[in-house]
Amino acid sequence: MNFLQWITHTGLIRTDKYQKRRGVIIANSMSLILCGVILLSYALRYFVFSEVGNAPPLKFLFVGLFFCSAPLVLNRSSLTTASRLFLCYGTVVFIWVSFLLRMRAEVEPIPTSVYDTLRIYLLAVSIIPYLLFDRAKIYHLVLAVLPTFFSLLLFDNIMGWAGVSNSLVGAFADDYKVMQLRSMIAYLIISGGCYAFQSIIIQNDEMNQKLIKELKEKTEEIEMQNEELIQGQEKLNETNQHLEAEVSKKTENIKLQNMALINYAFANAHHVRGPLARILGLLQLTKIDKDLDQAWVFKQLEEETNQIDFVVKQIAKDLNEVDFLADGKDSIS
């Protein structure tokens, strides 16, 4: 199996278009098929149908194998177009030469079935051009179709030029001339069907290539979107980390401020409340004792007031320090 695959893929270039690579593979496959058919036909003629008539000379076998295997060599040499044209022309030439040489060597009248067999072989190989070429290069297809087309159209003329016309050397049959019309009708049916089938295949190939291209574009678009999503996720993670750091810093600042407020409340409850209570007590004494030394009272009031002023300034200083630390942390971040 690997050996057959190696033969059918000989001369194949990966960078070529799909249709060209398919033509090369089909040409190699047809070469193998034709070689096998020639070997089989000679084996059958020699060992199975030897009593029907004279077996063809072995030289025709080697000539046929040469004509049918030459495309493999041409494909191996990267002459892919030449190999396919050679297969279309060489096969027809071999069929004509093998039949005409044998018919000219016949001493008895040539049976009408020989002419019909030649037509059948020509009809059989008329499908080869449609397998090897497509309408993308219509001139190659036309060149490949010409051998079988003119062989069937000018069948009797070629026989007359070769001196083996049925009317001259064969057992003329009443419906022989009708065979020309039948052959052309069969040829048109085969050619039309092959061309239509080939057109459908080409259209499907083009559609598949278009779908593959669209699928590739969609895949690239999805990959780009995924890349954008990944980048967006990374930015979101960075933003979340930054916010978490900010929240942590703000929380720390709030804790400092809360501690400052607690200290302020404590100072207010103890340090400020003590001097204020003593001031209130002195004022109460002045109401009770009218003969109280006024100088001493004012001096005490001044001392207690200074004490309150000192405590208030200390609280303000502590609060300012807390605000400064909070601002400093923010500026560092």
For 287-316, the pLDDT digits (tens) are 776 666 777 777 777 777 888 787 777 777
Residues 152, 239 within the same domain: no
Q: Is the pLDDT of residue 214 over 60?
A: yes
Asked whether the predicted pLDDT for residue 174 surpasses 70, the reply is no
What is the number of domains present in the chain?
2
Q: What are phi and psi of 243, to 5 degrees?
A: -65, -40
33 Cβ contact list (under 8 Å, min separation 6):
none
Residue 110 domain-assigned (yes or no): yes
- Average pLDDT of 194-211? 82
* Among candidate residues 161, 123, 175, 113, the one with its CA nearest the CA of residue 145: 123
Name the pTM for this structure: 0.62
pLDDT attached to residue 331? 38
Domain ranges, residue 245: 234-332
Q: What is the pLDDT of residues 260-289, one digit of tens each?
A: 777 766 766 666 677 777 777 777 777 776
169 shares its domain with 238: no
Give the pLDDT band of residue 329 (cuts 50, 70, 90): very low
Q: What pLDDT is stored for residue 332 in this prediction?
A: 32
Q: Is 75 part of any domain? A: yes
Contact yes or no for 134/198 (Cβ under 8 A): yes
Which of 126, 141, 173 is at the close of a domain?
173
Residue type, 159: M
Helix axes 80-105, 58-76, angle to 10 degrees: 170
Question: Once rounded to an integer, what is the mean pLDDT over residues 4-31?
Answer: 76
Same domain, 165 and 241: no
Q: Do 55 and 128 fall into the same domain?
A: yes
The reply to whether 14 and 145 lie within a common domain is yes
| 249 vs 106, more confident | 249
User: Within a 13 Å sphere around the CA of 181, how many CA atoms are in the beta-carbon half?
Assistant: 4
Which is higher by pLDDT, 302 or 222? Answer: 222
Q: Kindly indicate the confidence band of residue 149, based on its pLDDT and cuts at 50, 70 and 90.
A: very high
What would the pLDDT profile of 136-147 be if each residue is shown by its tens digit? 778 888 899 999
